[in-house]
Structure 1
Amino acid sequence: MVVPPWAWLVVLTVIVAMLVIDLLAHRKDHVISAREAATWSAVWVGLGLLFGGVVWATLGAQAGSEYLAGYLIEKSLAVDNVFIFALIFGYFAVPRELQHRVLFYGVVGALVMRAGFIAGGAALLDRFHWLLYVFGAFLVFTGWRMYRHRHAEFDPSGNPVLRLVRRVVPSTSEYDGRRFWVRRGGRLLATPLFTVLVFVEVTDIIFAVDSIPAIFAVTQSPFLVFTSNAFAILGLRALYFLLAELMHRFVYLKTGLAAVLVFVGVKMLVIDLWKVPVALSLAVIAACVGVAVVASLRATREPARPTS
């Protein structure tokens, strides 16, 4: 599928425009309420689905289905990011009014880095078809590992990235409002907010290693891989503020996400024997995530109080 340069230009313009609108809407640091997060989540999801409709209308049903499958995969795996972000913010005691600022720049960095990953992945797959099997085996292994360690606790204190940043970058021990850098005694020092941002970016790179090959399982069009990734990531901040307080209830979510990764991995491994229909992929992915969410909410619901 050949996408004209003007289509890329339009998409990038829309993404930049939405980022500017989001930045202006949150130019004053404040605690994001559940209502505000729900409103923005609806905006981002609506924008992502609207773009999917445009793809469907202009590039055909097959391209539209592939975009939606990629969007659903990335959106589902993004929920796992929310778990980690909540733990990172808790570990570093990031003030709630500053969390949106960190996530905003984290998303900008994620879009740039993932564009590079996608371009590289597309070029490699175009030249080395056998890499599909490598990606497929990697996703199956990642899904199995996620299932095995679904109850493991994430501890940032022993992370080598954190130790490296603290050793290499001169830093202060206290936050200074929304600043990432401050000047003290003639020296430029990083605040803890900078360390948190680095941690968020590295975490996203790790998640991208899973999610990007997973989207290549449903489409090998760089345009569809990037746009489905981008529109799903744009709503990550709002998703965090919407779900962060409820994450303890999603006890089976990692099991559902592990099943998604195993499914798309197997799909890549059998691609030359049977190309799984995109509609079936959508149904399986939605079922894995939907069953995990419903089962989690049922398992963690509060028992009804007896009436007197």
Structure 2
Amino acid sequence: MELPAWFEIATFVGLTTLLLADLAIVARRPHEPSLKEAGLWVSFYVSLALIFGLLMLAFTDGVYATEFYAGWLTEYSLSVDNLFVFVIIMARFQVPRKYQQEALMIGIIIALVLRGIFILLGAVVIERFVWVFYIFGVFLIYTAINLVRHRDDDEEYEENAFIRRMRKVLPITKDYHGAKIRVTENGKKMWTPMIVVILALGTTDLIFALDSIPAIFGLTREPFIVFTANVFALMGLRQLYFLLGGLLKRLVYLSLGLAVILAFIGVKLILEAVHENQLPFAGEREPIEAVPHIPIWLSLSIILGVLIIATVASLLKTRGQQITVDEPVLEPEEAEKIATGGPEAAAAAESRLADRADRGDGGDGGARR
């Protein structure tokens, strides 16, 4: 049973309206949401995804709905892993907490546009070259192995080439001007650091999509389901950022859980490629029926089970542990030295911050929350 065209159109219109309304709300009243507010919004978006799956079940069949739920859960869990880097980006650029919502929202919209392009390209490639599943499968297994190998490493953020280039070519102010990205200083139009933050969030997410998009194509070949699963996963990410915050550190087994999921989907992709039995150098060949096909309901069960086990095990492991989210910050005079003293002053300040972090001292100004 095919997805009705009107259903797809209505979905795109509804999601676009929702995203624009969400952006308008954030822009009109910049603030740091409370845990209660963030929790309510996360619940709203999760409920929305669950309802959307039920609508797919009502208007199509159980296969599409199950594929959506499996894809959404996979993307959502991988997006949670992205939050570690988002936290680092916000800390590195010292974005004021009350303006982080808008930065995240615009960054997520940019990420959705880039992911949409990536999904369309992926759908075209898969439609023409089924054997690309071999590549996707091996890549996901490789990613899973790396997740296990580096699970204890500290998360780091390195500016990509695009962001480094933007820093060089754009005239950027020293200070933030609220959530504005463009201001006039001394009669000259300039960009604010917020533009770099937004672009960093959007482009960094695309890097994470390099493994999440192939993963969801291992669960469904419907571009519509792939895209909507991504939208629903990313829409609630902003509120989840404020809800979890430093508690992300408690999800100590999340990387292991994600590794299991990626490895499973990688194996599933390879099995599908072997079943299709299509290679560019072998001509037309008959499918190999003996190769087992993993049904979507089993995929959904495994993904859900792994996430539950990883989450519960993480919470049990860190139960009773003190989780701190304090970050050492620059004193005002130190910030001034960096602005006027160049790289050497910045390096000296960074060294002082590292010393404070080792001592657990955030400085007289307190920790930025």
**Which of 283, 286, 293 is residue 301 of structure 2 equivalent to?**
283
* Structure 2 portions without partners, runs of 5+: 276-290, 323-369
Letter paired with 1:126: E
SS of residue paired to 1:270: helix
Deviation (angstroms), 1:185: 3.2
- What is the TM-score normalised by the length of structure 2? 0.79
CA distance change for structure 1 residues 154 and 188 in 2, over 3 Å: closer, same or farther? farther
Residues 172-191 of structure 1, C-alpha deviations (whole Å, 9 max, x = no match): 12111111122223432221
Matched, 1:122 2:140: no
Deviation (angstroms), 1:286: 1.4
> Using the alignment, how far apart are the partners of 1:222 and 1:246 within structure 2?
34
- What is the TM-score normalised by the length of structure 1? 0.94
> Using the alignment, how far apart are the partners of 2:154 and 2:265 within structure 1?
26
- Which is worse superposed, 185-194 or 213-222? 185-194
> Using the alignment, how far apart are the partners of 1:187 and 1:218 within structure 2?
51
Residues 207-260 of structure 1, C-alpha deviations (whole Å, 9 max, x = no match): 111111111111101111111111111111111111113111111111111111
Deviation (angstroms), 1:144: 1.1
Deviation (angstroms), 1:159: 4.7
**Structure exhibiting the larger radius of gyration computed from Cα positions:** 2
Matched, 1:170 2:171: yes
Matched, 1:295 2:313: yes
CA distance change for structure 1 residues 92 and 128 in 2, over 3 Å: closer, same or farther? same
Q: Give the percent of matched residue pairs that are identical in Structure 1 and Structure 2.
A: 41
Aligned to 1:11: 11
The count of residues paired between Structure 1 and Structure 2 equals: 304
Aligned to 1:22: 22
Contact 1:82–1:243 at 8 Å: present in 2 too?
no
SS of residue paired to 1:97: helix
Letter paired with 1:181: R
Deviation (angstroms), 1:158: 5.9
CA distance change for structure 1 residues 135 and 63 in 2, over 3 Å: closer, same or farther? same
- What is the correspondence of 1:219-258 to structure 2 with a 5 Å cutoff? 219-258=220-259
- Which is worse superposed, 111-120 or 50-59? 111-120
> Using the alignment, how far apart are the partners of 1:133 and 1:186 within structure 2?
57
Deviation (angstroms), 1:15: 0.5
> Using the alignment, how far apart are the partners of 1:5 and 1:59 within structure 2?
12
RMSD: 1.7
- What is the correspondence of 1:36-75 to structure 2 with a 5 Å cutoff? 36-75=37-76
- Which is worse superposed, 143-152 or 79-88? 143-152
Deviation (angstroms), 1:303: 6.6
Aligned to 1:191: 192
* Structure 1 portions without partners, runs of 5+: none
Relative CO higher for 1 or 2, CA cutoff 8 Å, sep ≥ 6?
Answer: 1
Contact 1:156–1:162 at 8 Å: present in 2 too?
no
Residues 59-112 of structure 1, C-alpha deviations (whole Å, 9 max, x = no match): 101111111100110111111011111111111111111111011111211221
Letter paired with 2:20: V
